Amino acid sequence: MGSNFQLYWAGFRVTIFADPALNLAGNENMQPQQEHEFDFDEEEVIVGLSESLYRFAIMTGVVGLALVGLGAGAIAMGSYGGGLAGPSIVVLGLVAIVGSLLFLRPRGDFDEVLVTRGSDISKLMQGVDALSVAHGTFRLVLVVFVLVRLGSFLLGRIG
Amino acid sequence: MLDYEFSDADNLRFSKLRRNLLHIACLFIILGVLQVAAAFMVSDVTARWIALAAGILLLTLGWLFMRPLDNFRRIVATKGQDIRQVIIAMKDLRAAYLAAEVIFGIMVAGLVVELMRLYSGVGLG
């Protein structure tokens, strides 16, 4: 429901009824596309993805915590050649924990698709955006893993 | 009834997600290839099989993250089937996350074993 405006001009009161369906550009044929409402089967798929995302986020967080523990141990014991190995593992663990938190956000957006009406596509797109950001961070973690694995592989070959 | 059609702005957002997923799939495949190659450098037979299995799991994960890419591409490229493609992509993504969950579980187990070795003074260092 839009708000109405009242103007006083030359002693007359003029009320302007603001209708959200009215196209102010003057082109009455250009109606905005009505949002799609997901049916039961489609919502089942969205719930499934939302639950998977939650478990995946938790598991990524646990990996992060384990890495932080391993890094702290490496620093304390001077393992893995000492130097930057321990702190690097701790940083990687922290990035994994932050990444896991980012995966919880799209889950919330996908859950909202189920509980709201008339804005399913908007909520879905919010979820898609949040998923994009989460994958961007996850990609960073994977790049570090690949570099570490490549380094250890090359060292193994040279050794 | 005509299927819902995503706007150009929405298509851009799907393209961005698709690109990120593609990078992740490629990174998992690279990790898998490295793991398989490293498996053949291990002298201990049991350790070799474990490393080989981990490599195959990583390659599978890469393949699973590749599966929804085609549907995300179709959302942008085709007309009249956007919702169907989104739902198929979501199903594929769900399978990928489930597999990632299992692999991360194995990884956590490995990290815990390594932590125990480290704190008992027989770590790899």
Q: How confident is residue A32, by pLDDT bands cut at 50, 70 and 90?
A: low
Is the Cβ pair A121, B4 closer than 8 Å? yes
For an interface test with A, give the residue of B35, B86, B116, B120 to mutate (most A CBs within 10 A): B86
Between CA B55 and CA B61, with CA B57 as vertex, the angle to 5 degrees is: 115
Looking only at Cα atoms, what is the longest distance across chain A? 95
The pair phi, psi for residue A15, each rounded to 5°, is -105, 125
Strand spans (E) along chain A: 5-9, 12-16
Report yes or no: B100 and B58 within 8 Å, Cβ to Cβ: no
Nearest CA-CA partner of B5 in B105, B68, B75: B75
Is the Cβ pair A78, B125 closer than 8 Å? yes
> Which residues fall within 8 angstroms of residue A21, CB to CB, at 6 or more apart?
A31
Report ipTM (2 d.p.). Answer: 0.80
Closest CB to A139: pick one of B6, B20, B123: B20
Nearest CA in chain B to A57: B101
Q: How confident is residue A3, by pLDDT bands cut at 50, 70 and 90?
A: very low
| Mean pLDDT, residues A47-61 | 91
B71 part of contact set with chain A, CB < 8 Å: no
More confident residue, A89 or A16: A89
pLDDT digits (tens, 9 = 90+) for A77-88: 877 766 777 887
pLDDT at A6 over 60: no
Number of neighbouring beta carbons within 10 Å of residue A101: 14
Is the Cβ pair B21, A135 closer than 8 Å? yes
Is the Cβ pair B13, A36 closer than 8 Å? no
- Report the C-alpha gap between A131 and B24 in whole angstroms: 13
Nearest CA in chain B to A145: B31
| Number of inter-chain CB pairs under 8 A, A vs B | 129
Q: How confident is residue B2, by pLDDT bands cut at 50, 70 and 90?
A: low
- The helix-helix angle for B82-119 and B45-77 (nearest 10°) equals 160
pLDDT exceeding 70 applies to what percent of chain B?
Answer: 94
Is the Cβ pair A70, B30 closer than 8 Å? no
